[in-house]
Structure 1
Amino acid sequence: MAGQKVAVPKGMRDFSPLEVRKRKYLLNIIEAAFRRFGYEALETPAMENLSTLTGKYGDEGDKLLFRVLNSGDYLKGVELDKIGEMRPEVLAKQLCDRGMRYDLTVPFARYVANNWGELPHPFKRYQIQPVWRADRPQKGRYREFLQCDVDVVGTESLLCEVELIRIVEQVFGELGLKVTLLLNNRKILAGLAEVLGHPDKLVPMTVAIDKLAKTSAEAVREELRAAGFEEDKIGELLALLTTEADNAQTLGALDGMLAGNPQGEKGLEELRWILRYAEYSEVEMPVRVSPSLARGLSYYTGAIFEVVVDSEEFNVSVCGGGRFDNLTGIFGLAGVTGVGISFGADRIYDALELLKLFPGDLDSSLDFLILNLCEAAYPLCVRMATLAHAQDYSCMIYPEVTKMRKQLEYADKRRALFAIIVGDRELEAQEVVVRNMMDGNQRAVPLDRVAEEIFGITPGLE
């Protein structure tokens, strides 16, 4: 009889055994790719000092931090008669010294700044851990979710960008998910703002053009107009951004628009280098130059990446990143450059689920269920389970003697691949019966052939 259901906090989730198997399948592929390219695993605490977290994500980000109430006498030092007059953020600072990890980037920067003298240079790390944000829960947006980051710091080499493109191709290739990698460069965006006559309006320009994939060109035009861009300049920019073209044509158009602009020309040079060496690396995944791509503009300084699924049913971003300079400057270590990307594990999971790309064998968590039909069969059941475990099969003996039907129903609910039946009748015949739970077919196996025919080993049971 089921008890009353107890809800989990909003924005948090339980994961069923099947969901855990699917998540592990996904994460194992991602982690294997990271390791293949020489990245080392790093883990940081779930909780950081608020002084580490605040001021790193802007005012809106600070509002989304999960603050942890001080332990013990958390009201010590607080003027209780003035609590009602305090602004929430002021009170929060007095009650809370720590907060839950908001992302993996700031803890990574802290770790690098603290350990720079002992780390190998360049330092290649990956990190797969949950983060927490006090966001408003909605479909596809959670308060606790997993991030999978891979970064290299301490080198300016563009070979690192090419390496990240190869990691993206290998991960999604192994998952069977068709994607396109969009590529841009922050220097190109800065150059465009300069040639349009508004170098001081880089941020509003990029905020507007980054919406082209989600809204109409006319809406973007209106936003640029409101930001102070002249009509003729807006028309020139939108013509560049909305014209369907291949990479050569897009780069040619950018050449013309950015001619004589040192920053823009440097960005184009870097883009061409990355594309050329991606070709040398035999990257077959579509890589498309996208001048409107402007993610992470506040800290990216070079290449910018975004990966989108090639599906009308699920055409969303599942991965992104870019090059950054001085990420560790916020912790007193200046001049450390690097590049990294982050895989959105939850979105990738949703894409695999929607497009039915998870392997079918993940549905089963049990290779063999040995039915428990009589105490006389206990020694044989235990020996068969031992044989199965030695061959790395998942196998269990049903714990209680009960009706065969009930045990087979359990095997079906567990999606077991095979049920091994051994009762008084089978013992008398010196055999066991193996039932394929997928199709219902079954066959008898003599006891002296069990090890070889069922578990693929010799010698057989005596």
Structure 2
Amino acid sequence: MANPVNPPRGMRDFLPADKSRREHALSVIRGVYRSHGFDEIETPVVEDYARLHAGLGGDNEKLSFSILKRGITPEALAAAAEQGDVETLADLGLRFDLTVPLTRYYATHRAELPPVFRAIQIAPVWRAERPQKGRYRQFVQADIDIIGEPGLLAEVELVTATSQALAELGLAGCVIRVNDRRILFGLLAHCGFAPETHDRALITVDKLDKIGVSGVVEELRGIDADAAERMGEVLQGVEPALAGEGIPLTRDAIAAALPAGAAEDGVANLAALGEALAGALPAGVELRFDPTLVRGMGYYTGTIFEVAHPGSGSSVGGGGRYDGMVGRFLGQDVPAVGFSIGFERVVDLITLPEQEGPEAIALVHDAEVPFAELVALKRELVGRGHRVRLEKRQKNMKTLLARVAAEGFTRFANVRPGIAGADELELRELAG
């Protein structure tokens, strides 16, 4: 028997029902974001190799797909690979996220954009992941970003828009975990970690959900044993609250979860965010402070977010403030903050609503019905706003009708020669 023909590892085909689910989710997300005043943009799927490897993408840069320059010979490829000199081979690469392209886009078009630019990007990205459940080499990201607003209003707008999108997708039980990078660095300094070790230490703290407090402390001992013990005490102090109802985003609750005097700027920022969002989120979405939230991207400079849902073992969204990225292209600082819904994880959690709008009708016709009559019937029904499909009659009608019902058709009609118009059709309900 021939081997099945599959798509490349880490990439997927989508059957009609799956595609319908995805398009429904995209429509909801896009509609909510537009209603909140964001404008959709589009960028190329490729960017310059140097830009994709400029240190803006964190660890994702290591997972980027590079595109060979034209005319590279097998001999040149082998020689460059042996020397590890990729830049002599590639001048372009597939985008691994939508943030790096956005910063380039803003730098290119800044003169044509408003002072505060609210962007929607919903598009596929590519990473050379090791394929596994929930991790793919091609996947869709759904991002909103605000560039040019330095104040807390940007974070407020992002959280309210994202929370409404999650609610309208039907994802009850979402928790938006919030932290501030300044709090993280303040905690590290309080525990005694030297500034030059902070990035290494945060990589370890970010593993807390996988290796637990004891595992984090053990790894941190390799950086500074005394500081590791003090960090362990902090983590043990907040662990019960994080495992329970979480820590409310209020000044008193945030201060109680942290050592006295740690990262006052970050505490004030999050307390103000919690106050601004009090009572503003839809039912089914909660806001919580998590002092252990790191987010892997090194470009975050302030507030960071991550969305948890009980139906997913991984986050279903995240983002944060990245004030330094745009300035890398413009030579001057430009404030920026973004929030991304993890589309591939979200789409697996939602259920499609009952079909609304135009009715979907299957015209089951005999083989001898003239094509002109079929076309005329279909044109008339489509003109009335219906979705119409022609299906040739089969011996096993039960199987045919079950299939078209599963594909979203709600009624059917038998078509025989001589039907003069759609009003003569006897439309019957299809069992769902």
Q: What TM bracket, shorter-length normalisation?
A: 0.7 to 0.9
What secondary structure does 2:207 align onto?
coil
- In the alignment, structure 1 residue 69 sits paired with structure 2 residue 59: no
Provide structure 1 residue ranges, at least 5 long, that are not aligned to the other structure: 440-462
The question of 1:387 aligning with 2:380 is answered yes
Mapped pair 1:221 → 2:211: no
Alignment of 1:139-288 (within 5 A): 139-178=133-172, 179-200=174-195, 201-230=197-226, 233-244=230-241, 246-247=247-248, 248=250, 250-254=253-257, 257-259=259-261, 264-279=263-278, 281=280, 283-284=282-283, 285-288=285-288
Matches of 1:63 and 1:209 in 2, distance apart?
21
Call closer, same or farther: CA 1:281–1:109 in 2, change over 3 Å: same
Query: Partner letter of residue 287 of structure 2?
Result: V
Moved more, 53-62 or 173-182: 53-62
Q: How many residues align?
A: 417
Identity %: 31
Give the Å deviation of 1:49.
1.7
More deviation, 367-376/209-218: 367-376
Paired residue type of 1:41: E
Structure 2 gaps, min length 5? none
The residue identity in structure 2 corresponding to 1:215 is I
Q: Which amino acid aligns with 2:365?
A: N
C-alpha spacing 1:421/1:184, structure 2 compared with 1 (3 Å)? same
Write out aligned runs for 1:20-419 (5 A): 20-56=19-55, 61-71=60-70, 73-75=71-73, 84=79, 87-90=82-85, 92-178=86-172, 179-200=174-195, 201-230=197-226, 233-244=230-241, 246-247=247-248, 248=250, 250-254=253-257, 257-259=259-261, 264-279=263-278, 281=280, 283-284=282-283, 285-296=285-296, 298-311=298-311, 314-352=312-350, 357-359=351-353, 361=355, 367-373=360-366, 381-398=374-391, 403=393, 405=395, 409-415=399-405, 416-419=409-412
1:418, distance to aligned residue in structure 2 (A): 1.4
1:387-427 per-residue CA deviation (whole Å, 9 max, x = no partner) reads 321232111333x5xx5545664343232321112436989
Partner deviation per Cα, 1:90-149 (whole Å, 9 max, x = no partner) = 1x3223221111111111111111222221111110111111112222222111111111
Structure 1 contact 122–154 (Cα < 8 Å) conserved: yes
Q: Deviations over 1:233-270 (max 9, x none)?
A: 23431233313264256313246x242x5xx1111111
Indicate conservation of the 8 Å contact 1:225/1:234, yes or no. Answer: no
Length-normalised TM-score, structure 2: 0.86
| 1:349 positional shift | 1.5
Q: Which amino acid aligns with 1:213?
A: D
- SS of residue paired to 1:198: coil
Q: 1:322–1:340: 8 Å Cα contact kept in structure 2?
A: yes
Higher relative contact order (CA 8 A, sep 6+): 2
Moved more, 331-340 or 241-250: 241-250
Any idea what SS the aligned residue of 2:222 has?
helix
Q: 1:186 touches 1:297 (CA, 8 Å); kept in 2?
A: no
Q: Structure 1's 16 and 10: CA in aligned 2 closer, same or farther, altered over 3 A?
A: same
Question: In the alignment, residue 410 of structure 1 is paired with which amino acid?
Answer: L
Q: 1:279 to 1:438 in 2, by over 3 A?
A: same
The SS at the match of 1:127 is strand
RMSD over aligned CA atoms reads 3.1
Distance 1:203 1:372, change over 3 A: same
